[in-house]
């Protein structure tokens, strides 16, 4: 059945389909890694069982996708905006430290991430979507551009152009737009948010607003369902520059309203 095919292709790629997969990193925090992975794969298994009993395949309708709401400090999208794209980002949050001041807090200097298309997952399986970052952050980045063991296609990249967060969502398969952003607001991740490979807390949830130069009609970008990415409390024993592994779900909202 097509619904089962969607699940297996989107979430658990078959080894014979691609020779290279990211490897799992459980050396530093094995119990947390295995807990997050077992929760993810058990949920996938339950979805497959349900799909076996469906008489028709589910329809990927992005208007049915609902972003997490009710987070203190994170206002909702403006009225009239609609979801254009949902992606899972996997990369690093980047920091600097003053080598002469061990008590200083690390300074955030941007991020780099690959974005993977999760729009249909958001529309059809929101509970699975929220678990993907906690799974993805457990897999190493130093191999093929794959999101853990999934077959989710790449839909763009995220990086900083100087101090400006930038999203490039134009790929050969899908042209959505390019979005330079400014931070609008932030909120602490929920207390139960997944930690990173070495126990790092989840970075904040964000609302970013599109700036001049944006293409594709994107107005807002939200970063939610974060896993890992936070720096240590101070610079003790840290190098001048360092990276912290993270993953998150990004929601891109479009509209014709002007600000």
Q: Please give the full DSSP string across 190-231, using - where no structure is assigned.
A: PTTPPP-TTSPPBPPEEEEEE-TT--TTEEEEEEEEEEEBPP
CA 152 to each of CA 17, 19, 37, 116: distance values in angstroms, whole numbers, following the listed order = 13, 16, 17, 6
Rounded distance, CA 208 to CA 222, Å? 6
Task: Report the SS3 class of residue 43.
Answer: helix
Rounded distance, CA 173 to CA 182, Å? 27
| Predicted local distance difference test score (pLDDT) of residue 97 | 98
Model confidence at 89: pLDDT above 90: yes
DSSP string, 181-199: EEEEEEEPPPTTPPP-TTS
H/E segment holding residue 242: strand 241-254
Q: Is residue 259 a part of any domain in this protein?
A: no
pLDDT band at 197 (very low <50, low <70, confident <90, very high): confident
| Predicted local distance difference test score (pLDDT) of residue 144 | 59
Q: Is residue 179 a part of any domain in this protein?
A: yes
Q: Is residue 190 a part of any domain in this protein?
A: yes
Q: Is residue 139 a part of any domain in this protein?
A: yes
| Predicted local distance difference test score (pLDDT) of residue 59 | 84
Q: Is residue 104 a part of any domain in this protein?
A: yes
Lowest mean per-residue pLDDT among 29-38, 73-82, 131-140, 193-202: 29-38
| Predicted local distance difference test score (pLDDT) of residue 150 | 79
Lowest mean per-residue pLDDT among 85-99, 135-149, 166-180, 235-249: 135-149
pLDDT band at 14 (very low <50, low <70, confident <90, very high): very low
Number of domains in the chain: 1
CA 157 to each of CA 49, 109, 121, 171, 221: distance values in angstroms, whole numbers, following the listed order = 34, 17, 19, 9, 14
Report the share of the chain in percent with pLDDT over 70. 80
| Predicted local distance difference test score (pLDDT) of residue 20 | 54
Q: Between these two residues, 14 and 149, which has the higher pLDDT value?
A: 149
List, in sequence order, the alpha helices (H) in the chain: 2-11, 30-52, 119-124, 126-136
Q: Between these two residues, 48 and 163, which has the higher pLDDT value?
A: 163
For the chain, the straight-line distance linking the first and the last C-alpha, in angstroms and rounded, comes to 46
Model confidence at 182: pLDDT above 60: yes
What pLDDT digit, counting tens, does each position of 186-195 carry?
Answer: 999 999 999 9
pLDDT band at 71 (very low <50, low <70, confident <90, very high): confident
Range of the domain at 140: 2-68+77-254
Q: Is residue 59 a part of any domain in this protein?
A: yes
List, in sequence order, the alpha helices (H) in 30-110: 30-52
b/e 165-180 (16+ beta carbons within 10 angstroms → b): bbbbbbeeeeebbbbb
pLDDT band at 37 (very low <50, low <70, confident <90, very high): low
């Amino acid at each position: 059945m097509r619904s089962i095919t969607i699940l297996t292709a989107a979430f658990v790629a078959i080894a014979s389909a691609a020779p290279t997969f990211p490897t799992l990193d459980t050396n530093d925090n094995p119990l947390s890694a295995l807990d997050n992975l077992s929760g993810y794969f058990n949920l996938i298994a339950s979805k497959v069982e349900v799909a076996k009993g469906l008489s028709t395949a589910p329809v990927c309708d992005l208007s049915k996708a609902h972003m997490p709401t009710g987070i203190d400090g994170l206002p909702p999208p403006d009225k009239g905006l609609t979801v254009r794209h949902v992606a899972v980002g996997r990369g690093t949050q980047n920091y600097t430290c003053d080598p002469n001041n061990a008590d200083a807090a690390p300074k955030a200097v941007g991020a780099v991430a690959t974005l993977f298309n999760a729009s249909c997952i958001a529309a059809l399986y929101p509970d699975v979507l929220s678990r993907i970052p906690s799974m993805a952050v457990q897999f190493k980045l130093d191999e093929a551009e794959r999101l853990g063991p999934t077959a989710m296609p790449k839909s763009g990249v995220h990086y900083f152009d100087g101090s400006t967060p930038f999203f490039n969502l134009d790929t050969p398969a899908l042209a959505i737009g390019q979005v330079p952003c400014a931070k609008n607001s932030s909120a602490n991740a929920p207390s139960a948010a997944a930690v990173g490979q070495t126990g790092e807390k989840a970075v904040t949830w964000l609302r970013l607003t599109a700036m001049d130069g944006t293409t594709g009609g994107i107005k807002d970008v939200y970063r939610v369902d974060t896993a890992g990415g936070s720096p240590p409390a101070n610079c003790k024993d840290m190098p001048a520059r360092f990276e912290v592994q993270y993953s998150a779900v990004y929601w891109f909202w479009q509209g014709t309203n002007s600000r």
